[in-house]
Chains A and B, each alone.
Chain A
């Protein structure tokens, strides 16, 4: 006969077994060890605003992918360090990621200066390297596992301004002269060099071609000097503080050019858009994504809703149209490659990334042989009907009309600029 004590012990043991079995059955999908993605990011220093926004977007991707069961059945973890927008900090960070943290995959920081120092380290380990907004970095390294998400096209330096000059050629009366002005710094000089090439190829006469120091704050003398040459087109390659200064000076001076804009960084950010308000009207400038119906890619609105919620109170771009969708997309590319190849084999991933057209929140992405987009999608958009002191107006369509490329066109140009 079974004693009461024995029965109680058996019951406890059975209960424990059942609990253990139940735990095993209902255990989270992630029994496997996490899959680590490593990167450095500009979270402080000059590019911190953009870097923090990129990180928010990347964290949204991580949450989304983990909700779907992770990658290869493993939960995704980020290992990242702040590079403080200092190139010298990048090599130690990537060597630590690879040698100490033993990450499975790496992606880049934001911006050319922070991407380039990681290249030799990544190349030595033969890793795929999705990168975020580097301008023509691979022109020097020629690394066949480099994949850059900014839609600057196979020849980034010239593709950047191609749309501006192609639009100008279509106008009537046809413009003849152009002024090119740029900040004396990395991106702006490259963009201006491309603009110079495109202008000459299109047969425009360059009547003004000068640079200004990045520390410039008073742009009126520059705009007056440009105005003295009476150019039909004014192509500006500048960083955010200069872009604001140039737009304000152009309005103060009453610039009479027929097209004004081109390569001004900053006019894509909601805070600057609100600050400049109607002064932006009719400016034709580059952009990468705007909330026009032609660019309503699957998932982009849902992503932006999550981003805008997460960005509240963090001092980053509240609308997040410029960089964040691409920060999400460069991880989507990696996600699809890993899922499709069911592997972390870097050779297989690279081969897949070269041959595939990826469906992302920024549309279809196909990489060319140099790791840049196979076809440029640098948009030329025109600000229209902008009202003062209203940031919300930029969240919807109708304020930045897509003029170029034709495949994404959402309206016609208002020409000339200063009418």
Chain B
């Protein structure tokens, strides 16, 4: 086994900031194109109006809120890895936590766009913030939607804070290893960090406390997002299982996105000696565990709908899976299988069946298989959000309200744009900043000793 020294870590991370291969620029152009499609779609929607989206009475929440919940969920893995696994001292977290944290920040930024997109008149978005007005009106602090404003903005701020605090010592290492314009930029960004032990002392204690603050945030944010639905009385939404169900799903989808990102990262930048197979296997184990929780939550939802005896709940859950009664019978009398039902079967396949091969060590040890499974999980989790949000709105208590919904081209363009926005930011990040946590990797390594043996 190759021994890695402190110097090797700096050299290897500095190497990731050198001019990348042409493939990098091709991928970047593809994502920028997706971003531009999204920006154009939004511009058209602002110009023409919300009629271009498929949302209408009674389906007031469609793809935009689906994307919001999906991207918030993606963000969870970064904080889980950087805070929860820091407190539990998981040794495999160090090589992936920087990429995961960056992913969190960019995912929550992407999610934050969707409430703005959804309200239509984005220039009035500041009405969400409590501020003194001439009418002396305040926002309603008892509304779950306002809880969401506070939860998501706090989550974004704390994620950025955590990310920046972790980056600064590594930026100082970049400063000391670079020249010219890069050195000037890194010197400014390092805010006077000089590696003195007094700084490390405050840093260690502060980082521990930040992790302690961020840990309940991981579990609270998606719980609060789930209460946007659970506080309503609609069949399929009004359920106490939503908070843990959403949190497990968020961790599940977020960790899958971490795999989607770090598997190409370790190949492109030749970081296999840091992001080892053991790291990928550990991520796969947590994914497998959360997959079981998610599958259990799906079955519990259906069982409770049946067991409750409530006709509205029973009908809704039948509709979620199979559409109108009769759709699957040979005597199709009314309605058709719509997009929410397709989403349901994709959700079950991608989230419950596709992760089953992870029980095998050989699959967990195969980066290509992990990459494919991670993509399937990402698709499955988007479908899950869509199915939960749209199907309940399609079928409320009053049949006169019932309606169909499918995403319009504008909504599809904006969804594509959100992926473009997220991956463009991430690709620019790995080009400009250390994508591995230099100081923390060193902390877990055998230090240079003349006589004594180091301790971990």
Decide if A and B are genuine partners.
no
